[in-house]
Amino acid sequence: MYLPGSRIFYEALSRKLLLPVEAPDSVPRKMGEKSPIPKKVVCRQQCTYLTTSQEKVSGANISPNVEKGIDYYVDQVLELGVEGIVKQYKEIASYRAPDAIYKYTAFTANPTRNRYQDIVCLDKTRVVLKYDVPPSTDYIHANWVRFDRHDRTFIATQGPLDNTISDFWRMIFQEQCPSIVNLTKFVEQEKIKCSLYWPAEAGKFTTYGKIFVNTKKVESEDKFTIYTIELVPEGCSDSHIVKLIHMTTWPDQGVPQSGRHVLRLLRKVVADKQDCGPVVMHCSAGVGRTGCIIMIDVILRQLFAGKPVDTVDVFKKLRDQRANSIPVDVLYVFVYISVIDYIRAKLPGKYKEKTQRFMNDFKTFMTQRLNQ
């Protein structure tokens, strides 16, 4: 048995034939116990709205029923306008999960594992760690986020702290997550927002707790850096490959000027053919940018599946699972902007001119906010 992190271990590992991405078994076991072959995850359906980079964005494949729903949605948004959306947010800003759900005993019991003491982690939806428990804790500041009749499952979590990096990787391996989306820089406005929790160079590797983490490939694109990372828990014969997509272009204050970069980000997650498990999404607290991206994805999927969209209902269901999500009105407005941006790209002839004033109003709104 080679020690994880040793040169001999790495060389042996690099020659190993990697297994397909699979779901973990449901029986808790200690990290040192050999892992049985997990059951294969079956993808339920493909994304109903986002095209991959090889596919042309056009309205040719939109059914009349879906287009009718889009018409109704766009008319509602334009009737609201940016000011109406801000007003709508004010009416729901104080919403929190019902008292029966709004409990966070594990959060209270683990203060050193929480990046922010005012951002709670709800017990009902928290991700419970099983590997190496005990002696390790079963707690991580992370929540499951699921929506009815929605084919994607998210895990919304905080940016790892130095003392929770090993917990983070335990979660990734346990849940066989195919993708991690990191929406924050490590330092913003001279404040630490997230610890560096992976080897940043291709060919580099280290061990966090009992998880061997090996960065196999690094790809740089215009707005993102994509890392292909291999995980091997101590004593396990399985390995797991995960894609980490790091977006560092989100402004320190406010939101992007358009939703295009966010839509490209979602497209990259969808394009991963192994994307059958939960997508891990985090920023610093795991509620602002993270909640924003999740809402955008949910609304677009509903809209392009021909389902009625109730943005307020999506917001409330998100907060029922990940407390404090979308904590400011600017993020809530940006959800609408991003959805409209995608519709404009999908059906430019029909909606580009019709929605231009709304887009201009958003830019004016953001300029005023930044100057306050």
Tell me the average pLDDT across 261-284. Answer: 81
Specify if 154 maps to a domain. yes
DSSP three-state, residue 130: coil
pLDDT digits (tens, 9 = 90+) for 288-346: 999 999 999 999 999 999 999 999 999 999 999 999 999 999 999 999 999 999 999 98
Is-contact 110 123, C-beta < 8 A? Answer: no
pLDDT digits (tens, 9 = 90+) for 126-141: 999 998 888 889 999 9
Specify if 157 maps to a domain. yes
Specify if 183 maps to a domain. yes
Rounded CA separation 41/231 (Å): 18
Q: Which domain holds residue 37?
A: 7-61+95-328
Specify if 124 maps to a domain. yes
Report the pLDDT value the prediction gives residue 148, as an integer from 0 to 100.
84
Specify if 341 maps to a domain. no
Specify if 73 maps to a domain. no
Number of structural domains (the chain) is 1
pLDDT digits (tens, 9 = 90+) for 188-232: 989 999 999 999 999 999 999 999 999 999 999 888 999 999 999
Specify if 125 maps to a domain. yes
Q: Which long-range contacts (CB under 8 A, 24 or more apart) does 128-133 make?
A: 129/167, 129/170, 129/171, 129/174, 130/28, 130/29, 130/174, 131/28, 131/29, 131/30, 131/31, 131/170, 131/173, 131/174, 131/233, 132/30, 132/31, 132/170, 132/209, 132/210, 133/28, 133/30
pTM for the full model? 0.85
Rounded CA separation 140/160 (Å): 9
Tell me the average pLDDT across 88-105. Answer: 97
Tell me the average pLDDT across 251-263. Answer: 82
Share of the chain above pLDDT 90, in %: 66
pLDDT digits (tens, 9 = 90+) for 15-53: 332 333 333 333 344 444 433 333 444 444 455 555 533
Specify if 25 maps to a domain. yes
Report the pLDDT value the prediction gives residue 59, as an integer from 0 to 100.
54
CATH code for the domain in which residue 222 is found: 3.90.190.10
| DSSP one-letter code for 126 | B
